[in-house]
Chains A and B, each alone.
With several copies, the nearest count.
Chain A
Amino acid sequence: MGYLGDSLLTAVELILSFDREVRMTVWTSLYTSSCAIVLAALLGVPSGLWLGISRFRGRRLLITLLNTLMALPTVVVGLLLFGLLSRQGPLGYFGLLFTPLAMIAGQTLLATPIVANLVLAAVTGADERIINTALTLGASRLQAVIQLLREVRFGVMAAVIVGFGRVIAEVGVAMMLGGNIRGSTRTMTTAIALETSKGEFAFGLALGLVLLGVALLVNLGLNLLQQR
C-alpha cells in the first residue's frame, strides 16, 4: 500500500491549504478535549490526592475499583451516557445528545480515573514529611496538601498529559455522543474513522498526522509551562 508516503504529502498539503473544514475539526477536537481534561483534572486531582493521603478501611478496594475504571472502553462510556441523554433517557429533555457537551461529558468520564490514579501514584511515591513540614510551618491542611501537590508536580503533569492524550485520541465517545456531524461535532478522530471507512486511507492518515502535530504543540506548551 503506497498510502504511507502519500499521507505525509497529503498532511503537508492539508496544513498548508488551511482548509476551513479541517480547521473546524481541529478546533472541535481541541475544544472538547481541553474542556474534558480541565474537568477531569478538577475531579481527578482532588480524588487522587485524597486517596493518597487518607487512610481508611476499604481504601485499597476503592483504589482497585479506580484502576478498573481505566479499562472502561470508550464505547461503554458512550452507551452509558447515550442511555442517559437520549430522548428516552432521564436527561433526554435537554436534547444534549449529538452536541459537543455530550462529548465533553463522556471524555471527562474517561479521563477522570486516569488522572486520579496517576495523582494517587505520585502522592504515594512522595516524601512522607511534606505534609507535616508544611503543617508545622503554620499551613492549614489545605495549604499543606497544595504544597504536596507542588512537590509532586511532575507526576501531576504526567497525569494531565496522559489524560489529554487519552481524550484527544479517543473516537468511541466522540462518535456515539457527538455523532460525527459535519461542521458541528466532527472531531479529528471521527473524521479519521470516516475517511478510513470511505477507503481514503491516505487522507485518514494525513488527518492523523495533523492530530499528532496539534498534540505536539499542546505538549510543547505544557512543557514550557512546566519549566517556568
Chain B
Amino acid sequence: DHLRLATTTSTENSGLLAELLPPFEQANDCKVDVIAVGTGKAIKLGENGDVDVIMVHARSKEDKFVAAGFGVDRRDVMYNDFVILGPAGDPADIKGSTDAVAAMAKIAAGKSTFVSRGDDSGTHSREKQLWKKAAVTPAGDWYLEAGRGMGEVIIMAGERRGYTLSDRGTYLAFKAKTELQIAVAGDKGLFNPYGVIMVNPQKHAHVKVELAKKFLDYLVSAPARTLITGFRKAGEQLFYVAE
C-alpha cells in the first residue's frame, strides 16, 4: 500500500525522512511516497486530494487549510530554527546578535545586500514577518528577490556577499559551498514548527484514512520522537520535538 506525503523540499533534503519513514513502512507493510515541493504547492496538492498527508511549516497557511475544510487532524510534529546568514565581512555589523528583528532592521538601514526566497515558502513567510516587525518595507537594489529554493538562495547570497534567512538544515548542507556564516541564531522568533495534516477524507473519498491516521500517530509517538531528536547532520541536531 502506498501513502502519499507532500512535504517541503527542505524536510526531504535534510535526510530526516530517510530515517524516520522506514520503521513506519516496515511496521505497516506500506510505502510512503514522498513528493517534495514548495510549501504553496504542497498545500495545493492537499486541496486537490492528490496526496493523503501534507507536512509543511507555515502556520498561518496551515490554519487556513484546515479552516477551509481541506484538512483534518493537524498535529505539531517538531520544529527546527532559522538562522540569519551573512558574509564574513559582516557589513551590517549584526554578528553574534540574538535579536533577529533588530538585525533585519540594521541590514535594511545599511542597505546591505539581502537575498530573499521570494517564493511564498515557509521561510519567505517568516522573513516577511520579520520585516514587518522591524517596520521595514524591503525594496531597492540591495534587496534581491530570487524566487528559488533555499540552497540556491544561500549560494546566491554567498556569491553576492549578502545576507539571507535560512533554515539550519539547509545551511549545514551548503556550508561547504558558501562563505556565508551564521550571523544571528537562537531568537525564539526564529523557531520553525512543522505541522502534519491529513487531507479531509470527506472531501476526497480516496484518501487512505486508516493509514494516514496511523502515520500521524506514528509521527508523534515516542519512537519517532527519539529518531527526530537523535537525527544529526554534520554533528549538529537539526530538529526538536515540541514539549
* Chains A and B share a contact (CB less than 8 Å): yes
Q: Assess the B33–A181 pair: CB atoms within 8 A.
A: yes
Q: How many angstroms between the C-alpha atoms of A23 and B41 in the bound complex?
A: 25
Q: From residue B240, how far is it (CB to closest CB) to chain A in Å?
A: 22
Contact of A1 among B31, B40, B177 (CB under 8 A): B177
- For the A-B complex, the count of residue pairs with Cβ-Cβ distances under 8 Å equals 105
Q: Assess the A197–B149 pair: CB atoms within 8 A.
A: yes
Q: Assess the A87–B50 pair: CB atoms within 8 A.
A: yes
Q: Does B24 contact A (CB under 8 A)?
A: no
Contact of A197 among B152, B156, B177, B204 (CB under 8 A): B152
Q: Assess the A181–B119 pair: CB atoms within 8 A.
A: no
**Nearest chain A residue, comparing its CB with the CB of B37:** A197
What string of 1s and 0s marks CB contacts (under 8 Å) between B35-51 and chain A?
11110111110001110
Contact of A98 among B4, B13, B170 (CB under 8 A): B4
Q: From residue B208, how far is it (CB to closest CB) to chain A in Å?
A: 12
Q: From residue A198, how far is it (CB to closest CB) to chain B in Å?
A: 4
Q: How many angstroms between the C-alpha atoms of A201 and B179 in the bound complex?
A: 16
Q: How many angstroms between the C-alpha atoms of A179 and B173 in the bound complex?
A: 19
Q: Does A206 contact B (CB under 8 A)?
A: no
Interface residue range, chain B: 35 or more
With a cutoff of 8 Å between Cβ atoms, the chain B residues found around residue A186 in the complex are 147
Residue pairs across A and B with Cβ atoms less than 8 A apart, 27 shown, are A1-B48, A1-B177, A86-B50, A87-B159, A87-B206, A88-B48, A95-B206, A98-B33, A98-B156, A98-B159, A98-B160, A175-B148, A175-B152, A180-B35, A181-B34, A181-B145, A182-B146, A186-B147, A194-B36, A194-B118, A197-B37, A197-B121, A198-B13, A198-B151, A199-B43, A199-B177, A201-B177
Chain B residues with a Cβ under 8 A of chain A: 4, 9, 12-13, 31, 33-38, 40-44, 48-50, 118-121, 144-149, 151-152, 155-156, 158-160, 170, 173-174, 176-177, 179, 204, 206
Chain A residues with a Cβ under 8 A of chain B: 1, 86-88, 92, 95, 97-98, 175-176, 179-184, 186, 190-191, 194, 196-201
